[in-house]
Amino acid sequence: MSFTLPQKLLTEFIGTFFLSLTICTAAIHGSTDEYVPFAIASTLMVVIYAGGHVSGAHYNPAVTISVYLRGSCDKDDVLPYIFSQVSAAMIAALISEKLLTSEKDHSVELFSLSSEAVIAEFLFTFLLAYVILNVATTESTSGNGYFGAAIALVVLAGAITVGDISLASFNPAVTSALIISGKVSLSSSWMHFLPQFIGGILAAYVYKFNTK
């Protein structure tokens, strides 16, 4: 399987974006440091499994240099890769600042959803569906044994990173359970349902772009 440069750069962008978003959101600005190393490692793991077959999943200029010196990265790819990685990281840092203006207390009875929750549910449901499509439905990775771990760790990363922001549902069925449990009100539940379905739909189109 051979991929085009735009497909590789999009993959490097998505991977480095989520890695940096997790680091900035969970570790740098976060009110609590709980489980942060696990969120970071999980995010890295899932984007490696999702994108390894497309771009090699470097997500790191030092790795791109190292892999290039070893002879496993095209010379012409080195600078575009680094540019894609650094710009993804910078954009992630800016978005994580937006996300963090609305951190909430997780223990309150009824969780009031905000526009930041909409962004959080959108981003991680997109990542969830993007990972699933790449590890569980694509030919390049068929027969792999890591699909369950990769998919589940998106939820681990999301729960740690944006749990305080959106309750980390990423799943309309789970949101239904949260409504029954009295944790999310029916009237604000569209702030879960809408970004969740949009995230899933966008992932399908990104996947199609990357495999066409």
Hey, which residues between 167 and 186 contact its own copies (CB under 8 A)? 168, 170-174, 176-178, 180-181, 183
Least distance to its own copies from the beta carbon of 181, Å? 5
Contact predicate 39/23, CB 8 Å: no
Structure-token match 């978003």, residue found = 21
Say how far apart CA 149 and CA 66 lie, in whole Å.
27
Say how far apart CA 81 and CA 55 lie, in whole Å.
9
Instruction: Decide if residue 155 touches its own copies (CB under 8 A).
Output: yes
Please choose, out of 3-11, 112-120, 156-164, the segment that lies near its own copies by the rule CB under 8 A. Answer: 156-164
Q: What residues contact residue 167 under an 8 Å CB cut-off, 6+ apart?
A: 106, 111, 117, 178, 183, 184
Binders of its own copies among 80-99, rule CB under 8 A? 82, 85-86, 88-90, 92-94, 96-97
Structure-token match 């790449």, residue found = 134
Contact predicate 121/191, CB 8 Å: yes
Q: Which is nearer to its own copies, 90 or 115 (CB)?
A: 90
Structure-token match 């739909």, residue found = 201
Say how far apart CA 212 and CA 93 lie, in whole Å.
31
Burial degree of 209 (CB within 10 A; 0-12, 13-18, 19+) = exposed
Binds its own copies (CB under 8 A): choice among 3, 7, 78, 152: 152
Binders of its own copies among 126-145, rule CB under 8 A? 128-129, 132-133, 136-137, 144-145
Q: x/- site string to its own copies, residues 9 to 38, per CB under 8 A?
A: -------x--xx--xx---xx---x-xxxx
Least distance to its own copies from the beta carbon of 102, Å? 17
Instruction: Decide if residue 70 touches its own copies (CB under 8 A).
Output: yes
Least distance to its own copies from the beta carbon of 5, Å? 18
Instruction: Decide if residue 52 touches its own copies (CB under 8 A).
Output: yes
Q: Which is nearer to its own copies, 80 or 172 (CB)?
A: 172
